[in-house]
């Protein structure tokens, strides 16, 4: 993005190096943020293409296009790419771009590690995707990689394990950088309880990352030794336990879910006040609610495995703990609505995506509450009801928040306004299609369609067709999104520094685009 | 914008109409045929309506605000931004709702866990990709796999319309049979990877974990045929291992049990006779199609890197004893199962003979059921 070039000569600032090497060797938080965001968009398209293959095969009953084994590879790699390649790097990209600016610092605290944590990622994903060309194909045991099934995989298996290790290392380094930046780079007067909520949610997310990514690394390493070095961690015949893996995996997996959503909470908490022209309602309760959610995320993991055969006491504990999460999550939703209440709202694209987020994330939250009720979960578990649930919280939740943040901050990043009309079209097409895509999946699950199947009984035909049509339209509308972003980078109406009438915060005091080094002198904090 | 609104309205109407047309296909969880399933259904509806009620209030407030508190209507923003009372109210009220929800959920859960005093026990074992049922103390056991019609129609490029196949993907060659009104306890386990046994009408699913035994129970109060599927990803043919349970009246069940015992005795006698190699080969083709194709493929070419080829393989063209050993005992740590537990002596002899003399192999020897029986 050449628009980030240095334009101010008043202090002797060195601009970015020229050409390709600028991106390879950069230690600049904005350059690295851009790299992360572009990488994430590419992965979003790659993962999306796999989703299209899945929906194409499920368009009609019967197997028309692909082998069931390849279908399993698609569902598995779709999830890994979307979680580790699209959503997480997008949030890290946003953190890179915005955190130093929002706390009034010049750059991230650890710039060289920042460069490294990004440049690991393309190699990790090249390794993961290369498994498609190996004997036995890509991993096909589901993104949850449960043994013993995953141990039956082909030659791609160890490559997937090492790819996950690299993604984990990248995430942990990114998280360390976030924490060190927030604790050390704040401008004088920027106390913790004055930080914008996006900074707060990322601060908490970073701790979650550091806590759980090593757990995942441990779990996948045990898989590796079970397969190649004759250990039997997860094999009952050797004294191990396949369910042990699920406990370890979900001890990582549930906090991971909040890693994917807490920064989204932060984004929405920035955008809604701007377009309601009213300060965020209940700032401190938002901070406490986020912390409570993070804490609870460590003690609810086994609700992903209610049907695995736990003792009654265990099931009761995990059911109660899971239901509790509804309380702080509810607090957040109520606070957003109270922020809108008696505001003076306008509905530019970032606001539309944020409101879409609040409504559809809440729908995902409702189905989450239903899933928390253990006896009912015995019916919902591993059906399309679950598929609908987590796509509502991840697509219309996490990804909608990322879309909102791109529209919100892209005028700041590039200095150009995006095309408002196109943005609105993008929102409406996406929102209608995403509901046609995922809402019928609730019915499919309740009526008895298991997840992760390439073919289904004819009674599920009509809703699957609806779902596929919604999927194709939603997929296409994201291609349109890429075009809008491309067009905005290339040019457009010049953005003011303030950009949005109701915007408050340090990022709006800098020029659009901001100088190469954000705050070389500490700004004054009101 | 008006055009867009029109477009949206049309879409919504179309969706609702289609949804209404779908009513008979089921939009909701089945009420089921056991006391447990009815309790689960009631819990499901209770929590659903609680969510709907909260949704109406929350989304109602949002929509009201979006209509009346917009700048274009001249709304001026108030600057209030905190209220301890409000925060307390919306922390305490949801908490109370949750406690109220937790009470019936706990009761049902405790009830579901009580599998004591069962009238009979059935051991259910998941295999890639079929189910094995063993009536404990009854000397009845059998495998239950996808029926032939569905299996043919579901192959890639079969050109058979699934709509023409009765109970497509939800039918088996030999269903599980249980008596009505009896408390039947299931002991669930698996032979290879994790599976999950699920019949929606019974109100639960339970994982079948290799090396461990899970327990669950039903008391069905209506004679009928109930269908379900494996619910835990278990490999390539996870979508193709259905479950069918026939619930019979006590008298019919007794007749069925007697039949099974007669059939088992006849099968034992049959295995002693020697068969013509050509007959073995023909029979072997059927056994191969039902048990081996999923991995080793129709022409025996396998899938490179995961499932070895049979055509020209060292095992299938070398010493016949190694071949017999591989089929009977499987290969630890791989998807190759020990088929001595799954197939009869005749079927084993047939499929080994078939593999050696077909699929591009021409060894020319054969193995007889009696030889297999001697190795057991």
Residue A309 to residue B239, Cβ atoms within 8 A: no
Distance from CA of A152 to the nearest CA of B (A): 6
More confident residue, A486 or B367: A486
Six-digit token string for A60? 């009609």
Instruction: Check pLDDT > 60 for residue B7.
Output: no
Reported confidence tier of residue B201, pLDDT bands at 50, 70, 90: very high
Three-state secondary structure string covering A96-150 = HHHHHHHCCCCCCCCHHHHHHHHHHHHHHHHHHHHHHHCCCCCCCCCCCCCCCHH
Of B11, B69, B158, the CB nearest to A342: B69
Residue A235 to residue B211, Cβ atoms within 8 A: yes
| pLDDT at A16 (0 to 100) | 74
Backbone φ/ψ region at A56: left (φ over 0), alpha (ψ -120 to 50), beta: alpha
Residue A135 to residue B305, Cβ atoms within 8 A: yes
Q: Where are the domains of chain B?
A: 25-113, 120-270, 277-375
What residue of B is the nearest CA neighbor of A453? B239
Residue A278 to residue B55, Cβ atoms within 8 A: no
Residue A285 to residue B214, Cβ atoms within 8 A: no
pLDDT, mean of residues B246-272: 84
DSSP assignment letter at A449? P
Which residues in B lie closer than 8 A to residue A67 (C-beta atoms)?
156, 236
At residue B213, the 3 state secondary structure works out as: coil
Six-digit token string for A204? 């908490």
Which residues in B lie closer than 8 A to residue A339 (C-beta atoms)?
81
Residue B156 to residue A326, Cβ atoms within 8 A: no
| Long-range CB contact pairs, B80-86, < 8 A, 24+ | B80/A281, B80/A342, B81/A278, B81/A279, B81/A280, B81/A281, B81/A282, B81/A283, B81/A339, B82/A281, B82/A282, B82/A283, B82/A284, B82/A285, B83/A281, B83/A282, B83/A338, B86/A282, B86/A334, B86/A338
Determine contact, residues B355/B300, Cβ cutoff 8 Å.
yes
| pLDDT at A9 (0 to 100) | 47
Helix (H) or strand (E) run with residue B130 in it: strand B130-135
Other C-beta atoms lying within 10 Å of the C-beta of residue A179: 18
Of B15, B47, B192, the CB nearest to A376: B47
| pLDDT at B333 (0 to 100) | 67
Distance CA B365, CA B347 (A): 16
Domain B120-270 - what CATH class? mainly beta
Q: Write the CA distances from B23 to A28, B20, B57, B226, integer angstroms.
A: 57, 5, 27, 20
Reported confidence tier of residue B204, pLDDT bands at 50, 70, 90: very high
* β-strand partners of A383: A450
Residue B40 to residue A379, Cβ atoms within 8 A: yes
The rounded percent of chain B whose pLDDT value lies above 90 is: 50
Distance from CA of B129 to the nearest CA of A (A): 12
Stretches where chain A sits below pLDDT 50 are: 1-10, 12
Chain B residues 108-167 with CB within 8 Å of chain A: 108-110, 112-113, 153-158, 160-163, 167
pLDDT, mean of residues B349-371: 86
Residue A401 makes CB contacts below 8 A (sequence gap 6+) with A263, A264, A265, A267, A268, A353, A354, A357
Instruction: Check pLDDT > 70 for residue B25.
Output: no
Residue B297 makes CB contacts below 8 A (sequence gap 6+) with B303, B307
| pLDDT at B280 (0 to 100) | 83
The candidate with the shortest Cα–Cα distance to B333, out of A235, A462, A482, is: A235
B6 contacts chain A (CB < 8 A):
no
Residue B95 to residue A327, Cβ atoms within 8 A: yes
Distance from CA of A105 to the nearest CA of B (A): 27
Of A62, A237, A242, the CB nearest to B162: A62
CATH no. of B25-113: 1.10.287.90
Determine contact, residues B311/B301, Cβ cutoff 8 Å.
yes
Which residues in A lie closer than 8 A to residue B79 (C-beta atoms)?
278-279
Determine contact, residues A222/A245, Cβ cutoff 8 Å.
yes
At residue B123, the 3 state secondary structure works out as: strand
| pLDDT at B9 (0 to 100) | 52
More confident residue, B209 or B360: B209
Dihedral angle over CA of B10, B12, B15, B17, nearest 10: -70
B60 contacts chain A (CB < 8 A):
no
Q: Write the CA distances from B367 to B299, B330, B346, B355, integer angstroms.
A: 21, 18, 10, 11
Residue A379 to residue B200, Cβ atoms within 8 A: yes
Other C-beta atoms lying within 10 Å of the C-beta of residue A197: 20
DSSP assignment letter at A455? S
B186 contacts chain A (CB < 8 A):
no
Of B102, B109, B192, the CB nearest to A148: B192
Write down the architecture of domain B277-375 according to CATH.
Orthogonal Bundle (1.10)
Which residues in A lie closer than 8 A to residue B101 (C-beta atoms)?
323, 373
| pLDDT at B22 (0 to 100) | 41
| pLDDT at B6 (0 to 100) | 54
* β-strand partners of A262: none
Domain A29-509 - what CATH class? mainly alpha
Of B167, B200, B236, the CB nearest to A68: B236
Q: Write the CA distances from B339 to A170, A186, A393, B143, integer angstroms.
A: 46, 67, 44, 12
Beginning with the edge strand found earlier in the chain, give each strand of the sheet holding B204-208 in spatial order: B176-179, B242-248, B224-230, B195-199, B204-208
Which residues in B lie closer than 8 A to residue A367 (C-beta atoms)?
51
Distance from CA of A289 to the nearest CA of B (A): 10
pLDDT, mean of residues B337-350: 84
DSSP assignment letter at B172? B
Q: What angle do CA A488, A492, A498 make, to 5 degrees?
A: 90
Reported confidence tier of residue B300, pLDDT bands at 50, 70, 90: confident
pLDDT, mean of residues B292-303: 82
| pLDDT at B23 (0 to 100) | 42
Distance CA A367, CA A389 (A): 6
B2, B11, B16, B25, best to mutate vs chain A, most A CBs in 10 Å:
B25
Chain segment A183-198, per-residue pLDDT in tens: 999 999 999 999 999 9
ipTM field: 0.90
* β-strand partners of B230: B197
Six-digit token string for A114? 């920042």
């Amino acid at each position: 993005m050449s628009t980030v070039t240095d334009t101010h000569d008043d202090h002797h600032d060195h601009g970015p190096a020229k050409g390709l090497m600028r991106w390879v060797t950069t230690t600049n938080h904005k350059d690295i943020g851009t790299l992360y965001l572009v990488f994430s968009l590419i992965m979003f398209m790659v993962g999306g293409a796999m989703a299209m293959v899945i929906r194409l095969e499920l368009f009609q009953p019967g197997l028309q296009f692909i082998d069931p084994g390849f279908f399993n590879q698609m569902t598995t790699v779709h999830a890994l790419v979307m979680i580790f390649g699209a959503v997480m790097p997008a949030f890290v990209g946003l953190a890179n771009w915005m955190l130093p600016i929002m706390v009034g610092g010049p750059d991230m605290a650890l710039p060289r590690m920042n460069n490294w944590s990004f440049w690991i990622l393309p190699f990790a994903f090249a390794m993961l995707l290369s498994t498609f060309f190996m004997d036995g194909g890509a991993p096909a045991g589901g993104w949850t990689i449960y043994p013993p099934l995953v141990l039956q995989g082909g030659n791609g298996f160890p490559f997937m394990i090492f790819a996950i290790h690299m993604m984990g290392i990248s995430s942990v380094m990114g998280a360390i950088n976030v924490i060190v930046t927030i604790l050390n780079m704040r401008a004088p007067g920027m106390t913790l309880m004055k930080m914008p909520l996006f900074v707060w949610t990322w601060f908490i997310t970073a701790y979650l990352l550091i806590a759980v990514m090593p757990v995942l690394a441990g779990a996948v390493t045990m898989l590796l030794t079970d397969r190649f070095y004759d250990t039997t961690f997860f094999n009952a015949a050797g004294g191990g336990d396949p369910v042990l893996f699920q406990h370890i995996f979900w001890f990582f997996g549930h906090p991971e879910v909040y890693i994917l959503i807490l920064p989204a909470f932060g984004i929405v908490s920035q955008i809604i006040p701007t377009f309601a022209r009213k300060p965020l309602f209940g700032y401190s309760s938002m901070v406490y609610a986020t912390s409570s959610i993070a804490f609870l995320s460590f003690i609810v993991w086994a609700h992903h495995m209610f049907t695995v055969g736990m003792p009654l006491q265990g099931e009761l504990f995990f059911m109660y703990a899971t239901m509790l999460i509804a309380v702080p999550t509810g607090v957040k939703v109520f606070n957003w609505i109270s922020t809108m209440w008696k505001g003076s709202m306008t509905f530019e694209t970032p606001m539309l995506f944020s409101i879409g987020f609040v409504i559809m994330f809440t729908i995902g939250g409702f189905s989450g509450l239903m899933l928390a009720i253990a006896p009912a979960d015995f019916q919902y578990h591993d059906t399309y009801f679950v598929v609908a649930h987590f796509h509502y919280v991840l697509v219309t939740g996490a990804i909608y928040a990322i879309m909102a943040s791109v529209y919100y901050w892209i005028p700041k990043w590039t200095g150009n306004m995006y095309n408002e009309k196109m943005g609105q079209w993008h929102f409406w097409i996406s929102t209608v299609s995403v509901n046609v895509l995922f809402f019928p999946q609730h019915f499919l699950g309740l009526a008895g369609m298991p997840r992760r199947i390439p073919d289904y009984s004819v009674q599920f035909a009509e809703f699957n067709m609806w779902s596929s049509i919604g999927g194709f339209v939603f997929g296409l509308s994201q291609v349109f999104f890429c075009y809008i972003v491309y067009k905005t980078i290339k040019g457009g109406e010049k953005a003011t520094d303030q950009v949005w009438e109701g915007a408050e915060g340090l990022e709006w005091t800098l020029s659009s685009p901001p100088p190469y080094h954000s705050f070389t002198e500490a700004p004054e904090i009101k | 914008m008006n055009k867009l609104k029109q477009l949206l309205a049309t879409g919504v109407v179309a969706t609702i109409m289609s949804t209404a047309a779908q009513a008979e296909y089921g939009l909701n969880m089945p009420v089921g045929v056991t006391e447990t399933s009815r309790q689960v259904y009631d819990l499901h509806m209770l929590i659903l309506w609680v969510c709907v009620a909260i949704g109406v209030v929350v989304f109602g407030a949002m929509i009201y605000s979006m209509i009346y508190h917009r700048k274009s209507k001249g709304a001026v923003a108030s600057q209030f931004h905190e209220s301890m009372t409000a925060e307390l109210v919306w922390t305490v009220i949801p908490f109370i709702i949750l406690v109220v929800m937790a009470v019936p959920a706990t009761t049902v859960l405790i009830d579901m866990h009580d599998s004591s005093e069962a009238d009979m026990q059935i051991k259910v074992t998941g295999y890639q990709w079929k189910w094995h049922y063993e009536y404990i103390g009854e000397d009845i056991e059998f495998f239950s796999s996808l029926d032939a019609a569905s299996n043919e129609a579901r192959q890639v490029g079969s050109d058979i319309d699934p709509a023409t196949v009765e109970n497509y993907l939800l039918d088996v060659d030999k269903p599980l049979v249980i008596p009505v009104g009896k408390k039947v306890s299931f002991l669930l386990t698996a032979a290879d990877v994790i599976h999950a046994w699920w019949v929606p009408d019974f109100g639960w699913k339970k994982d079948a974990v290799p090396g461990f035994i899970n327990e669950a129970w039903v008391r069905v109060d209506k004679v009928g045929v109930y269908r379900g599927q494996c619910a835990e990803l278990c490999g390539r043919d996870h979508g193709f291992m259905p479950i069918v349970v026939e619930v019979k009246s006590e008298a019919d069940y007794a007749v069925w049990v007697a039949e099974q015992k007669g059939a088992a005795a006849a099968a034992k006698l049959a295995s002693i006779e020697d068969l013509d190699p050509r007959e073995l080969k023909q029979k072997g083709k059927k056994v191969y199609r039902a048990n081996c194709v999923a991995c080793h493929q129709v022409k025996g070419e396998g899938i490179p890197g995961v499932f070895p080829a049979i055509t020209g393989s060292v095992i299938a063209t070398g010493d016949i004893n190694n071949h017999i050993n591989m089929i009977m005992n499987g290969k630890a740590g791989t998807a190759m199962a020990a088929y001595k537990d799954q197939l009869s002596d005749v079927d084993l002899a047939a499929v080994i003979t078939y593999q050696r003399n077909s699929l591009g192999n021409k060894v020319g020897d054969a193995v007889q059921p009696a030889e297999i029986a001697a190795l057991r």
